[in-house]
Structure 1
């Protein structure tokens, strides 16, 4: 069906995964267009660079007449969107993003999926980057607009396809099928299993079962430092499992590590045989672990340790993942996508290890009411690892009605008012920052919403210090 479709319309085309998917189909020779909101997104420039046009609303009357296929995601009402309804009336084929990805990767010779509640974007980006540097000409789709200087989605050949495999539902609340259940990869690299997406999963055990179903009879590369993974290994039918991590029982073990000015250096051993020292332009234990997972995957694909060392050395991370935005006279501004308590803790700990003599300041925008309500205490604990935190109003999902929740960002601040301050508006936040930021601070905008758009205002405040 993908081969036959010549003109494809992506609904919500500015979403990161949708933009990356549109780029791939554009490079496959398809006529690609779509629709989205008029608000500027982080992906606008990518769409422009690839010559992909789009409408600025979801008016069903504007749905093109000559399209063969409409692709929708969980955003913008999913298959309840007016343009999808119009497409149904016209008899146009309609598929979810998850279905299209499942069909797409069938066309590639070797398929590697990277999953995990946290770290999958960095890990899949690193794996794609390494394969590029190794001359393997991979095609790939990750959950970031860019990594290093490469787009987050690309088609280069049919030899390899690396895909970030998302455990979120196809179209909540109507279709809670985990998106990665549509994928049938040859290898699965899993960084961890954690409770997230309370609008899809009621608890950790249901989340774990979704991962185990995805793992079924695949070649697995698993992190042996993750408790839910360790507890699940004996329940797996697959006999082709290799492991990595700091754990002494891991097949690929991280023996030692240290942080340098430009990243991290660590020593690995495979089956107790030293592979030597590796370097990467990333910080923190979690990123070292993620890098080890990518290295073990590359070893499974037949690349040598010597080749891999050279290939990964200059990787600096995916966009919005510990991304340096500005440095001025020893004061740093970073942006990070962390939106779950464990991700927040990992980012703050990485910052503290890299900047042990600096104050860590977080400007956090919670993402979704359901997640904030389910993990309220955990958010307060993780954020409290920083020296000072400013928390913004919740960035709601288009799939939830704020009136259905008795929660707001003040509830996070109230759990630790000495360290966490609520800022109701952008104006109040900037006033607080003007009087509370100091020279040599390390500042993060953090969250999965649009908090990154504050960067210019924050840079202006920093310049006056």
Structure 2
């Protein structure tokens, strides 16, 4: 398949963060891009403003005529997050159309470039965005398909200038084994904790999937992998493996401390130290992510001085420890954390930044299956806050599971003030409680509350 020769490209699930990057890529290739998504969002509105036609109800009549007619220059891409009984998906399958998964197309596009795949059950979006910025800021011609909106570039897609030395950074997603369709020349693996057990069944099966991903690397390829899961690469003695973590491994950080709201640290490798790096995006976990990004950037021609500038100029990723309100009397941070380990890391980091302030967390669990698998772990992580507002579970593609509720999490929590809220009740409750430090966490539609909450801090609570 010649991936850049299509006149019409249609997306089923166009508003997903990975799908939207592909949509923008084909829009740049001057294709007529359109698609379906379940709900309108700031991202889909922006894509409509960029010239894409998007509808929000399942409607076969909205499928372009060129697609229905199976014209050779038409392409249909879908996300596995779309239900199997989706009307448009079923129609196209019944008509005998060839449908491509997002990961399949991404693999075909990036196969033509020197690709750096960033994988991990958590940390991959931040790390891939950090790496894309370090390379771009270091004057390396860079393409990137990201799983979040880079604040520096206000996009999840970076396009290269077109030289012969393009480096392509790709977020390698383990969901639905999507990363097995990529062909990385180099790779980062940030973590491989138990997750997506609705797909894999067991943690062992997930670890095996990461081993298969490692096998996608060419002979003598480079792998930067978290020190805790270094053994996943033991079956590939030919690889150039560099392990890292916050405080141990071939690459680690030293002199980590908070200064003026930033995390300051030294990058330490076997033969190199870069001292006094200033990371404005807070979090011990982000320091660790940056270690991996720096390691690959250095291997691709970025100098230590350029690294220092790139780290300090990195502005973060939307919904990754993002400061929404930063006032003297109140701070509001939004984060995508939806796994217990991510929640614990976010709370630990915000405690380091604001040790004197009581912390209120607004959390929306994501998926019934994940909540069932980690209910005790969610309760333990959330109990590290002073006050918690729990929303109902965001189901996404799933049906409810009996006994799996936010109330069940609350029953397992200790030493914490917790309330179960509907989304409509959040703003009134925040006005009533007037928290001085608030963090919203979750991967569902909790992001729809960010602007209303921001408004009350800037208006009602600022009076």
Matched, 1:407 2:404: yes
**Match for 1:146 among 108, 133, 150?**
150
* TM-score, normalised via structure 1 length: 0.91
8 Å CA contact retained: 2:364, 2:393: yes
Mapped to 2, the partners of 1:204 and 1:268 lie a distance apart of: 32
| Structure 1 spans left out of the alignment, 5+ residues | 170-177
Matched, 1:131 2:135: yes
CA positional deviation for 1:272: 4.6
Structure 2 partner of 1:32: 33
8 Å CA contact retained: 2:48, 2:54: no
Q: Deviations 1:172-227 (Å, cap 9, x if unpaired)?
A: xxxxxx0000001100011111001121122221111100110116234334442x
Matched, 1:50 2:40: no
CA positional deviation for 1:107: 2.1
**Match for 2:446 among 430, 451, 461?**
451
8 Å CA contact retained: 1:212, 1:236: no
Structure 1 partner of 2:423: 426
Structure 2 partner of 1:16: 17
Q: Deviations 1:344-396 (Å, cap 9, x if unpaired)?
A: 01111111111111121100000010000110000011111111111100010
**For residues 273 and 409 of structure 1, do their structure 2 counterparts lie closer, same or farther at Cα, with a shift above 3 Å needed?**
same
Structure 2 partner of 1:174: none
CA positional deviation for 1:318: 0.4
Mapped to 2, the partners of 1:198 and 1:89 lie a distance apart of: 30
Matched, 1:92 2:97: yes
Mapped to 1, the partners of 2:264 and 2:430 lie a distance apart of: 35
Mapped to 2, the partners of 1:162 and 1:115 lie a distance apart of: 11
Mapped to 2, the partners of 1:286 and 1:12 lie a distance apart of: 31
CA positional deviation for 1:127: 0.8
* TM-score, normalised via structure 2 length: 0.91
8 Å CA contact retained: 1:224, 1:245: yes
8 Å CA contact retained: 2:371, 2:404: yes
Segments of 4+ moved more than 4 angstroms: none
- How many residues get paired? 447
Mapped to 2, the partners of 1:321 and 1:207 lie a distance apart of: 24
> What SS does structure 2 have at the residue aligned with 1:269?
strand
> What SS does structure 2 have at the residue aligned with 1:118?
coil
Mapped to 2, the partners of 1:296 and 1:416 lie a distance apart of: 39
> What SS does structure 2 have at the residue aligned with 1:43?
helix
Matched, 1:76 2:82: yes
Counting only pairs closer than 5 Å after superposition, residues 266-277 of structure 1 correspond to structure 2 as 266-277=265-276
8 Å CA contact retained: 1:70, 1:84: no
> What SS does structure 1 have at the residue aligned with 2:121?
coil
> What SS does structure 2 have at the residue aligned with 1:117?
coil
> What SS does structure 2 have at the residue aligned with 1:371?
helix
Mapped to 2, the partners of 1:85 and 1:208 lie a distance apart of: 33
Counting only pairs closer than 5 Å after superposition, residues 272-311 of structure 1 correspond to structure 2 as 272-311=271-310
8 Å CA contact retained: 2:363, 2:388: yes
> What SS does structure 2 have at the residue aligned with 1:283?
coil
Greater Cα offset, 263-272 or 336-345? 263-272
CA positional deviation for 1:28: 2.2
CA positional deviation for 1:418: 4.8
Mapped to 2, the partners of 1:4 and 1:431 lie a distance apart of: 52
8 Å CA contact retained: 2:44, 2:54: no
Mapped to 1, the partners of 2:13 and 2:130 lie a distance apart of: 26
CA positional deviation for 1:262: 4.1
| Structure 2 spans left out of the alignment, 5+ residues | 68-73
8 Å CA contact retained: 2:126, 2:289: yes
8 Å CA contact retained: 1:224, 1:247: no
CA positional deviation for 1:303: 2.1
8 Å CA contact retained: 2:226, 2:243: yes
Structure 2 partner of 1:341: 340
Mapped to 2, the partners of 1:164 and 1:318 lie a distance apart of: 13
8 Å CA contact retained: 1:216, 1:237: no
> What SS does structure 2 have at the residue aligned with 1:93?
coil
Q: Deviations 1:98-132 (Å, cap 9, x if unpaired)?
A: 11111110122x11010111111011011111222
8 Å CA contact retained: 1:264, 1:279: yes
CA positional deviation for 1:417: 6.1
Q: Deviations 1:274-310 (Å, cap 9, x if unpaired)?
A: 3333222122221111001000001111322122212
Structure 1 partner of 2:433: 436
Counting only pairs closer than 5 Å after superposition, residues 185-204 of structure 1 correspond to structure 2 as 185-204=184-203
8 Å CA contact retained: 2:152, 2:315: yes
CA positional deviation for 1:60: 1.5
Matched, 1:416 2:402: no
Structure 1 partner of 2:70: none
Structure 2 partner of 1:173: none
Mapped to 2, the partners of 1:146 and 1:45 lie a distance apart of: 17
Structure 2 partner of 1:161: 168
Q: Deviations 1:1-58 (Å, cap 9, x if unpaired)?
A: 2234321101111111111110011112322111112x33241243034221212222
CA positional deviation for 1:311: 2.1
> What SS does structure 1 have at the residue aligned with 2:117?
strand
Q: Deviations 1:236-293 (Å, cap 9, x if unpaired)?
A: 3443211222454x22231221122242211122215433332221222211110010
> What SS does structure 2 have at the residue aligned with 1:454?
helix
